[in-house]
Amino acid sequence: MLGAVANRPRGKGLSADVAVVRPLKFVGDDEALVKALRAHHPGAGEVLYDRHANHVQRVLARVVGVDAELPELLHDVFVQALESIHSIRDGARLKAWLTSLAVFTARGCIRRRSRRSWLRFRAPENLPEQSIDTLDSDAREELRTTYRLLEQLPVDLRIAFALRFIAGMELTEVAEACRVSLSTVKRRLARAERLFLARARRHPVLADRLDPELSRRRR
Amino acid sequence: MNRLSELGERIAEIQDRVLCENDHLEEVRQRIPRDVTPGLSRRRRTVLAAAALAAGIAMVTFFLMSSPRPLTIAVGEASDFEIGAWIAAPAAESLPIRFSDGSTVYLDPLSGARITSITAYGARVLLERGSAKVEIIPREDAEWRLDVGPFSVRVTGTRFHVGWSPGQEIFSLKMMSGSVLVSGPMVPRGRVLSAGETFRAWVGENRMEIVSPGEVLRDPAPDASTNTERDEPPEPIVSSQNTRRAAPKPAGPTAPLWQSLAREGRYDQALDAVQRMGIGRVLARSTAADILLLGDAARLAGRVGPATHAYNTARRRFPRSDAASMAAFSLGRMAFDQQRDFAQASRWLEVYLDEKPGGSLEREAMGRLIEAHNRAGASAKASSVARRYLARYPNGPHARYAKNALAETRE
């Protein structure tokens, strides 16, 4: 869908001070956007990014954590999306499809790190992270401890836990993002909760927050 | 909500703060290739990736040395500056923000802004309050954007003066040279403004005006530049698609009467004219723009029934269109402001947000939705929206309200 430049009254050109007129962005819902991407509409790729980058970045951050590799993962998701846009069946589900791409990109990253962990010179908790200096000490410790514990979980349990409790997704959304059945997600979550809580009790910064839950589990 | 979910919500909130402080979105955006070959097979991708990697290793030093560096910034007399830091002009004088390509943004006294991102081709500036004189050096590859309230101004090389009053929700832009593209409420598709033109928008009242230099208003519409000083009926609603000034165009012999009355602010007379013709018949035959005009006229006249009828007709006749989404937003606003039906307001605002992700009124819709949920007693929903709002608009006009909403649900 063209914008105001194309509809400008004839003879009303841009001032000579402006060297170039840029094509206006595509305007339309996700379904129309997918069609535009498939038709190589100029600017549709930018709209895809502008519209969904925040969400994709948050999904990646929930699963992987806010470390220095996040921008690369974000880049990978959108390149993948642009390359495989023809595979999406329902354009109206674009956001959910991107969520799934992000989850699997994050999964690949986690598995890669796990396979190479014996090559690392630093312990996992010392991987470079984005600057968190502006956070107060409690927040920093909560963030680091949570992801240290998540790293100890099997990757699929970690992903289900992060999507459910940190990203706040509904069970059906988690299942769709992980491309598994609802019953599989429930099983993974039950195991993940059990393992996470068992380890969290050893860390005061989390045990205090989870104490009533830990008490309930011990009964 | 159980404690694990509470912990998760807190972790998400902490992460969102970190993501705001370390904003890489623009940097990644610049790296997304414009031309991507769709449908590459995995094997072919792997082969191509291996070849690219080999070439990349050989080229990496050369690439780093030849990549354009982001522009540098000097604010006032200070040359060390952090992206995202708050910039406030003093009370007595303007504050220049100078970029290394020669472009300058002069913040007027008591105005506040942030530089949210910077590249080799330009920068993104958020003008949070007040006004600024902007002088951008024209370049073929220049890419500048100013976020001013709910409006976005894209610039390639020009001089203009822009302002935003968050309390009164008034936006103004006066062009001195060059041209810009403004998009936002009432101009969702964008509107090019050229040298000499002045654009003003009263967002809360859903009206705007565009005045060209030397124009003489033939019709006795109130002067918009002094409108706030008078106690008069509201300004005419300007249809953003085909008019450029506050006063209506002189009506030809076949010009519909009710539209002119609506644009002149004579809402009751406009509605009476429509009623005489039969509102159903008018709505069945009108364009989407005219239907929204009728809805707005009825809403501003306080006539909720006809307004609702018009907006619902827009949604039914033009499904999945910009007009349909605008109608949803207007229905939500009307439910909130005039009917005080906050549950209804929530439903319509959610419809707008679902239909127009990233739409020009997203920020306003989300902010109102937090309030609507709160007033409807749905504090959990209010918190959920508040989180999303703060992640997306950490400095938006509803940010404080959103933070309070989150704090209250934790107590």
ipTM of the complex: 0.83
Mutate to test the interface with A, among B1, B2, B28 (most CBs of A within 10 A): B28
What is the C-alpha separation between B316 and B324, in angstroms, rounded? 8
The DSSP-derived string for B133-167 is: EEE----TT--EEEEETTEEEEESS-EEEEEEETT
Confidence of residue B315 (pLDDT cuts 50, 70, 90): very high
Which range in A135-149, A198-212, B326-340 is most confidently predicted, on average pLDDT?
B326-340
Chain A partners within 8 Å of B40 (Cβ): 83
What are the chain B neighbours of A212 within 8 Å (beta carbons)? 3
pLDDT in tens, B163-200: 988 767 789 999 888 888 888 888 877 788 888 889 99
Kindly give, in sequence order, each residue whose CB lies less than 8 Å from that of residue A215, ignoring residues fewer than 6 positions away: none
Which residue in chain B is spatially nearest to A72 when comparing CA positions? B28
Q: Is beta strand B123-135 parallel, antiparallel or unpaired with respect to B144-148? A: parallel
Taking CA–CA distances from A79, the nearest residue in chain B reads B32
> How confident is the model at residue B35, as a pLDDT?
58
Say which residues have a Cβ less than 8 Å from residue B160's Cβ, sequence separation at least 6. B133, B134, B153, B173, B174, B175, B176, B178, B180, B193
Flag whether residue A135 sits within 8 Å of chain B, measured between CB atoms: yes
Instruction: Flag whether residue A180 sits within 8 Å of chain B, measured between CB atoms.
Output: no
- Considering only residues B335 and A219, tell me which one the structure prediction assigns the higher pLDDT: B335
Instruction: Give the side-chain half-sphere CA count within 13 A for A123.
Output: 4
Interface touch B11/A167, C-beta < 8 Å: no
**Are B18 and A131 an interchain contact pair (Cβ–Cβ within 8 Å)?**
yes
pLDDT at B54: 58
By the 8 A CB rule, do B355 and A29 touch?
Answer: yes
> What mean pLDDT value characterizes chain B?
77
Query: Could you give the CA distance from residue A41 to residue A176 in angstroms, rounded to a whole number?
Result: 29
Cβ–Cβ below 8 Å for A4 and B191: yes
**Residues on chain A touching B32 (C-beta within 8 angstroms):** 45-46, 49, 75, 78-79, 82
Q: CB distance B158–A17 less than 8 Å?
A: yes
Candidates B1, B6, B9, B14: best to mutate against A (most CBs of A within 10 A) is: B14
Q: Is residue B86 classed as helix, strand or coil in its secondary structure? A: strand
pLDDT in tens, B108-167: 988 888 888 888 888 889 888 889 999 998 776 778 889 888 888 888 678 899 998 876
Q: B391 to chain A: which residues are within 8 Å by CB?
A: 54, 58
Å between B27 CA and nearest CA of chain A: 8
Q: B118: which 2 tokens?
A: 């910077």
Antiparallel, parallel or unpaired: β B144-148 and B104-107: unpaired
Residues of A in contact with B10 (CB under 8 A): 142, 209
Q: Which residue has the higher pLDDT, A90 or A128?
A: A90
> Which residues in chain B touch residue A15, judged by CB atoms under 8 angstroms apart?
158, 177-179, 194-195
Residue B134 confidence (pLDDT): 93
Note the pLDDT of residue B170. Answer: 86
Out of A46, A82, A210, closest to residue B7 by CB? A210
B352 has pLDDT over 90: yes
| pLDDT one-digit tens code per residue, B353-369 | 999 888 878 888 998 89
Q: For strand B198-202 and strand B112-118, is the pairing parallel, antiparallel, or unpaired?
A: unpaired
Instruction: Tell me which chain B residue has its CA closest to the CA of residue A166.
Output: B8
How many A-B residue pairs are in contact by the CB < 8 A criterion? 189
Give how far A122 is from chain B: nearest CA, Å: 23
With a cut of 70, say whether residue B342 has pLDDT above it: yes
Residue scoring higher pLDDT (A163 or A28): A163
* pLDDT of A150 higher than 80: yes
Tell me the percentage of chain B whose pLDDT exceeds 90.
16
Assess whether pLDDT exceeds 80 at residue B266. no
- Bigger pLDDT: B243 or A111? A111
Is the Cβ pair A53, B11 closer than 8 Å? Answer: no
Coil/strand/helix, residue A191: helix
Interface contact A167-B12, CB threshold 8 A: yes
Task: Report the largest interatomic distance among the alpha carbons of chain B, rounded to a whole angstrom.
Answer: 78
- For A143, the closest of B15, B139, B355 (CB atoms) is B15
Cβ <8 Å between A83 and B178: no
Q: Do A165 and B7 touch (CB under 8 A)?
A: yes
pTM over 0.80: no
For residue B360, what is the DSSP state? T
Selected residue with higher pLDDT from B284 and A118: B284
In terms of average pLDDT, the best of A28-37, A111-120, B206-215 is A28-37
Range ranked top by mean pLDDT from A135-139, A159-163, B310-314:
A159-163
Whether A53 and B179 lie within 8 Å, measured CB to CB: no
pLDDT given at position B353: 94
Counting Cα atoms < 13 Å in the Cβ hemisphere of B140 gives 0
**pLDDT per position as a tens digit, B41-94:** 444 455 555 555 555 555 555 555 555 677 888 887 766 666 777 788 887 788
Q: Which residues of A touch B139 (CB under 8 A)?
A: 19
Instruction: Say whether B15 and A193 touch across the interface (CB within 8 A).
Output: no
**Cα–Cα distance for residue pair B126/B145, rounded to 1 Å:** 9
Kindly list the residues from chain A whose CB atom is less than 8 angstroms away from the CB atom of residue B358. 50-51
Closest residue, chain A, to B18 (C-alpha): A132
For chain A, the average pLDDT equals: 80
A92 touches chain B (CB under 8 A): no
Q: Are B311 and B297 in contact (CB under 8 A)?
A: no
Rounded Cα distance between B333 and A185, Å, is 39
- Categorize the per-residue pLDDT at B37 as very low, low, confident or very high, splitting at 50, 70 and 90: low
pLDDT category at B411 given cuts 50, 70, 90 is low
Q: What is the DSSP string of B187-245?
A: EEEEEEEETT-EEEEEGGGTEEEEE-TT----S-PPPGGGGGGS--SPPPPPPTTT--S
Looking at residue B106, its pLDDT comes to 92
**Nearest one of B191, B32, B148 to A44, comparing CA atoms:** B32
